[in-house]
A and B are shown apart, each in its own frame.
Chain A
Amino acid sequence: MANLKRRTLDWLNERMGSDGIEEFLRHKRVPIHRHTVWYYFGGMALFLFIIQVLTGILLLMYYRPTASGAFESVQFIMTQVQFGWLIRSIHSWSANLMILIVFIHMFSVFFMKAYRKPRELTWVSGMLLFFIVLAFGFSGYLLPWNTLAFFATKVGTDMAGFTPFAGKWIVEFLRGGDQVTGATLTRFFGFHVAVLPGIATLLLAFHLLLVQKLGMSVPPGVEKEIEDGHLPERSMPFFPNFLLRDIMGWYGALGVLGALAAIFPWELGVKANPFGSAPAGIRPEWYFLFMYQTLKYLPSKVSFIDGELLGLMLFGFAGAVWVIVPFLDYKAGFGRITRFFSGLGMFVLGYIIVLSCLAIF
């Protein structure tokens, strides 16, 4: 056995230099300190993404992206196909868990200032991935073609129309016309299963390559304690030690997912009627609630400017600042403690939590 394994590895090594790959994997070490737990969230997001890809491929085998067939095909999956309810419920639950984990990953990276030099591009690619994940959520939400999805898409795409100058064009591009119709559904299906996965895969490869190459960032506070000799410098190899711990976490996540999908299968709702009225109490998915609630509070006119437009401009600006934060907080790169940015992060996190709660209750 041992001989066979050795010979297989030698054979591969001769052909693709796998010793180099192994060397590349072995060179990364994961620091051990009181914040090590936050290092697990990126891998968890990756795991849930893989679940999405696998269950998504399965759903593709029965799903039909047309206004007359979409709802029925999802219904068919939920009621006729063996384990169809399970596959679709896991896809929906895993999508929501992934978004939650991605939020946690983003904020933990922010507070640990892991975006500091030389990891600026890791942060920027991560933020782009974050937007892609939201776009996955938004485009996938329409696909079952139920009432809630239909109106959420109507409202969501309508907002894109507030973009200065290009608004009308963007709405037409997203909807494939001036209304949400079967053309929109087919288009969103294309985004969801082809365009977004393509972009996501490239960004993800870049993001992971950087993480592997640059290694894990140690928070400035811990770094200082180690320098001052108050804390011993401890670490473990990423491969295989940390990865095995990662896999334990994934195993747990799989159990949670299976339980959620089995106990609370995802609802399908009522087929969309484009000429019916919107149901009462309609609101977007939880990860868009803080924006939805903000827009609700804004008056229709703030001096000369539309309240909606002002709100969306503020969110656009905040998002842009968030993406370039490593360049704004460049002082942290020299190991300086920059309390302003930590405060900013606390404010943003608090804002999202409070506004989301206000929208729910």
Chain B
Amino acid sequence: MMAQSDSGKPDEGARESKVDTGRRWVNLVLGTGIVATIASFIYPAVRYVIPPPVSESSNLSVVAAKVGELKNNAAKVFRFGSEPAILIRTADGNYRAFTAVCTHLGCTVQYRADLHEVWCPCHNGMYDLQGRNVSGPPPRPLAQYQVHIQGEDIVVVRNA
């Protein structure tokens, strides 16, 4: 657009071929100034739109349930930091905890008591009780967390 400004004056069409270096210099300075100004608004705006990281400590421990809350062969989804996690009590009474975020597309998984497996309803993904992806589209196993029983509380812990 800046290169066009010479033709802005219709009565000086004859002079157009002979470019005035003075005017060219002014156009360069103005153009650079305008570009710099626009960049100086866009840069803060772009940085502003990127959200700051939510500080979440890498060590996390959450009371997922109370002792006796879960029957054998049952499970519960609970809030673990900013994500859901699942606490499973197996048929023989052991506790297991995994992230409840399916490794395929991020749906929240659930426990299938009839199959003794973890199931993602979105695309029929299956994980076994070790969190391994056994069938369907999930590409990776579910991350496993440690389960501790402290008095009445069942505490789920993730270490860094």
Contact = CB atoms under 8 A, between A and B. Distances in A.
A81 B37 CA distance: 22
Interface string A78-120: 0011111011000000000000000000000000000000000
Contact of A82 (B4, B7, B48): B48
Interface stretch (B18-26, B49-57, B110-118, B144-152): B49-57
The majority secondary structure among interface residues of chain B is helix
Contacts of B4: 1-2, 5
Contact of A83 (B3, B37, B47, B51): B47
Interface string B30-60: 0000000100000011011111100000000
Interface of B: 3-4, 7, 37, 44-45, 47-52
A272 to B, nearest CB: 25
A58 B3 CA distance: 34
A83 B50 CA distance: 10
The majority secondary structure among interface residues of chain A is helix
Contact of B51 (A2, A5, A54, A81): A81
Interface string A1-31: 1100100000000000000000000000000
- Across the A-B interface, the 4 shortest Cβ-Cβ residue pairs: A83-B44, A82-B47, A80-B52, A83-B48
A75 B59 CA distance: 26
A58 B52 contact: no
A81 B3 contact: no
A19 to B, nearest CB: 16
A274 B66 CA distance: 38
Contact of A58 (B7, B37, B48, B51): B48
A58 B47 CA distance: 11
Interface of A: 1-2, 5, 54, 58, 61-62, 80-84, 86-87, 251, 254
Which of A1, A54, A83 has the most CB atoms of chain B within a 10 A radius of its CB?
A83
A87 B4 CA distance: 35
B42 to A, nearest CB: 11
Contacts of B7: 2
Given A1-B3, A5-B4, A251-B37, A81 B44 contact: no
Contacts of A80: 52
13 contacts: A1-B3, A5-B4, A54-B45, A58-B49, A62-B51, A81-B51, A82-B47, A82-B48, A82-B50, A82-B52, A83-B44, A86-B44, A87-B48
